[in-house]
Amino acid sequence: DTAVSQTPKYLVTQMGNDKSIKCEQNLGHDTMYWYKQDSKKFLKIMFSYNNKELIINETVPNRFSPKSPDKAHLNLHINSLELGDSAVYFCASSRSRSGSFPDTQYFGPGTRLTVL
């Protein structure tokens, strides 16, 4: 069973389009994350939700909007796609958001977005 799954795996689209990436985790975790990995493999956090509540919102354009219908799902919607949005987007989850020690984050397989 896949712990953290993402769909689609590949996404090729034109500039200006709107697209969504879906993420689901079956680990029973409370916290989910979106990361962006650029062409140089640099990973940066974008958002984090804890039990459907937004808790981390890094400096990300307003065109990116996360949506969490329940704590097992965190989807990423991107409006008016730009060339610079091309990257690999990873979803991750962890048991909790805080606590004395950090919980392990489990990552999905990634979605490679290409904007033409």
Partner 1 sequence: AQSVTQLGSHVSVSEGALVLLRCNYSSSVPPYLFWYVQYPNQGLQLLLKYTTGATLVKGINGFEAEFKKSETSFHLTKPSAHMSDAAEYFCAVSSFSSGSARQLTFGSGTQLTVLP
In the bound state with partner 1, the residue whose beta carbon lies nearer, of 9 and 63, is: 9
CA distance linking residue 109 with residue 48, whole number of Å: 18
**CB 104, min distance to partner 1, A:** 5
Residues near 67 by beta carbon (within 8 Å), at least 6 away in sequence: 74, 75, 76, 77
CA distance linking residue 116 with residue 50, whole number of Å: 34
**CB 94, min distance to partner 1, A:** 8
- Residue 105 contacts partner 1 per CB under 8 A: yes
CA distance linking residue 97 with residue 45, whole number of Å: 14
- Residue 104 contacts partner 1 per CB under 8 A: yes
- Residue 97 contacts partner 1 per CB under 8 A: yes
Q: Which residues bind partner 1 (CB under 8 A)?
A: 4, 31, 33, 40-45, 48, 50, 55-56, 90, 92, 94, 97-99, 101-110
